[in-house]
Amino acid sequence: MHTVVAVVLPIFALILLGYLCRRTDRLGPAAASEINRMVVWLCLPALLFKVTATTTWAQIWQPGFVLSFSAGCLLVFAATVGWRLRQGHNLVEASIDGLSAGYANTGYIGIPLCLLVFGQQGLEPALIASLIVVCVLFAVAVVCIEVGLQQEKHLGRALFTVIKALARNPLVVSPILGAGWAASGLGLAEPVLHLLDMLATATTPCALISLGLFLAQKQQGRQTGAWPLVLIKLVGQPALTAFLAYRVFSLPPLWAHSALLLSALPTGTGPFMLAEYYQREAGVVSRSILLSTLCSLLTLSLCLFWLGA
């Protein structure tokens, strides 16, 4: 429990700082949206570009782990989207809820937790999982949201509208540009890397402070429905990933244990960034992040106990 608390406590501290700044009127009512806009247009694109521009195939070529973790994320996302659609929600809301159920906080919690539990060897699976969550799952969710936003009935026109919208979306364009830069073999100059690092480092703190600011405001729209997403995230996803890692792909202990632990992480800030950016489901998502992070103190401790860590 102490290991988990040491990693999770700064998250609550940053959320609380944002909450107090809004309650005491140190930051105004538009601060949550404006800080989140900075994250979406500057910080997160810098992180996505840097990660894809500096990663090689040799670093991420762990087929069993990649399939176990990515299948766990994407199947949970797809199942949640399908469930929400059957409940009568539109594709935009269902996609954001699906992201809340499958988007693990691999960056801010996963990397330090794996380093604490597995030592330096735990860094590689944590980084691969971060790539999958941020570059694959996030991109799939953005595409689904953009498709859901289009009201065009003509298939060709609707497809063109979606492609045009995606081409203007920094969260889609930045990893594609990064992958293209990596393929060119040019490398990044030291000043450029330093700039990208400064912007990327601000992503999580700013997103968490923005979340705290949002929670301090009077909420509009749907406020219920967070608990099922929390249950799917903290129980459903790790159970599915563990089955794939241990039973289907029979991964070596380090990789199987890492897949389980990383899939059991609480919801990260990515879904809130999209919910606030698209002005959909932000109330439900913010509660999902807060509740899953709080409940993960227990579930992650149980995982660590079961792993004998």
Q: Rounded CA gap, 47 and 56, in Å?
A: 16
264 and 256 in contact (C-beta within 8 Å)?
A: no
**Domain 2-307 adopts which CATH fold?**
Na+/H+ antiporter like fold (1.20.1530)
Tens-digit pLDDT profile for residues 137-168: 988 999 899 888 886 666 677 677 778 877 88
Tens-digit pLDDT profile for residues 178-198: 989 988 888 899 999 999 999
Sorted by where each begins, the domain ranges of the chain are 2-307
Tens-digit pLDDT profile for residues 68-118: 999 999 999 999 999 999 999 999 999 999 999 999 998 778 888 888 888
SS3 147: helix
Q: Rounded CA gap, 47 and 67, in Å?
A: 23
pTM of the full structure: 0.82
DSSP result, 19-50? HHHHHTTSS-TTHHHHHHHHIIIIIHHHHHHH
